[in-house]
Amino acid sequence: MAETLTTDSGTHAADRDVFFPQPDGSRVPYAVFSSQEVYDREQERIYRGPHWSFVALACEIPNLNDFKSTFVGDTPVVVTRTADGFACWVNRCAHRGAIVCREKHGNAASHTCVYHQWNYSCEGDLQGVPFRRGQKQGDIMLVGMAKAFDPAQHGLRKLRVAEYKGLLFATFSDDTPDIEDYLGPQMLPWVDRLFHKPIVYLGCTRQYSKSNWKLYFENVKDPYHASLLHLFHTTFNIFRVGMSARSIPDATHGLHSLITVTKPSVETNTASAYTDQKIRSMQDGFALEDPYVLGQIPEYEENCTNQIQPIFPQLVIQQIHNTLVARQLLPKGPSNFELVFHFFGYEDDTPELRELRLLQANLVGPAGYISMEDTEATELVQRGTARDGDKTSFMGMGLDAPDQTNSNITENLIRRFWAGYQRTMGY
């Protein structure tokens, strides 16, 4: 009789439409990128589980009663600035389930559902129900809401909210640890590096990708691709093999990570690794008419050219030269996601530095000189894996050196992510 494999959650592997053949994350079944069952399970175990989802920068809603509509997973939520701090509630009327707030941003002391005019405070508490007590019509009293109706029991569903140095996170779960513990000691110093003083919001770009959200999370944990896919990165010496590198996972679950790249302090020919191997992404013949776009004004103790830091599951913190971004990753079904690039600077930016940050916004986003290839790459994987869900990828780069953290030709961060994902999902 064949042995039945049982997962950590106690369910049988045969009952699932995905199976990870290796616990180390080196082989990933393609079904995780297109299965509706997997996607639905993620909504419950990740986005409604014990994880903090990034919802906004506090500077997006600087004034009392400012609000922003966004999502936790695919659940619509609204985050507001209140007299006591911040609130976040599910954007779904407690009456009949209609979307209450239909604007992306704004300022309002209360929010009213357009369908039947139920009214809620900015904290999400129900304040008013039209004709709740009925209406007298001639000699007839038209009966209103049921006598047992208690407005306090019919507010909008509220989420816990945490702020860490201007980053706002929300969670459905009472079991989610404090935000500092959630970020962990490996990630905190690097979050602090970019959020060490007050920031200002500079605007955003949005793009949609016809691919699974986890393919993008793989992408931002993959230094191996960065100098191979992106001609701009390599040709103009922003990210090359041979630079000083970090690739560090968080020690708790491996779901967060950090990649940094810094140019060598001593002049080094980092182009030779590409020219010697005739790698396509190194193009000596290319030059910029105006190289100012690639300037870098030193502003941190270590002058990294890149800091890419995914905070599971909805945030990627980014510094490339002087452009600063909080990328928000929002799943839209098994085969689609939205990516929002929130650009920011510091309150005390000099005019020169602010101008450079805005100019370098052209490096990332949907048409960014560097990042426009990323979602094209994730869509290539999505299309290539739509069938044969039981087949797997293989990620062996650096597999024999799992503790090496100074390499940018490694897939260790992706493997750590998938190992953590398996535990989170009970696979």
CATH code of the domain containing 121: 2.102.10.10
**Is the peptide bond prior to 249 cis by the omega test (within 30 degrees of 0)?**
no
Cα 285 to Cα 173, 237, 277, 288: the distances in Å are 54, 14, 17, 10
Task: Identify the domain containing residue 199 by its residue range.
Answer: 185-425
pLDDT at 288: 81
Q: What is the residue whose two structure tokens read 């393609």?
A: 30
- Is residue 145 domain-shared with residue 218, that is, in the same domain? no
pLDDT at 274: 62
pLDDT digits (tens, 9 = 90+) for 225-259: 877 887 777 777 777 777 888 999 999 999 999 99
Q: Which residues of the chain have pLDDT under 70?
A: 1-16, 266-284
Q: What is the residue whose two structure tokens read 């600087």?
A: 62
pLDDT at 320: 94
pLDDT at 423: 95
- Is residue 130 domain-shared with residue 191, that is, in the same domain? no
Q: How many CA atoms lie within 13 A of 4 on its CB side?
A: 8
pLDDT digits (tens, 9 = 90+) for 60-73: 999 999 999 999 99
Beta partners for residue 163, in sequence order: 168
pLDDT at 236: 75
pLDDT at 241: 73
pLDDT at 6: 45
- Is residue 293 domain-shared with residue 339, that is, in the same domain? yes
Cα 29 to Cα 24, 131, 416, 418, 422: the distances in Å are 13, 55, 15, 11, 11
C-alpha of 21 from chain center: 27
- Is residue 240 domain-shared with residue 134, that is, in the same domain? no
State the CB neighbour count (10 A cutoff) for residue 160: 14
CATH number of 419's domain: 3.90.380.10
- Is residue 152 domain-shared with residue 200, that is, in the same domain? no
pLDDT digits (tens, 9 = 90+) for 363-419: 988 888 888 889 999 999 999 999 999 999 999 999 999 999 998 889 999 999 999
pLDDT at 244: 87
Q: Which residues contact 163 (CB under 8 A, 6 or more apart)?
A: 58, 85, 86, 169, 179
In a domain, 170, yes or no: no
In a domain, 112, yes or no: yes
CB 56 within 8 A of CB 340: no
pLDDT at 61: 98
How many distinct structural domains can be found in the chain?
A: 2
Q: How many CA atoms lie within 13 A of 62 on its CB side?
A: 7
- Is residue 153 domain-shared with residue 242, that is, in the same domain? no
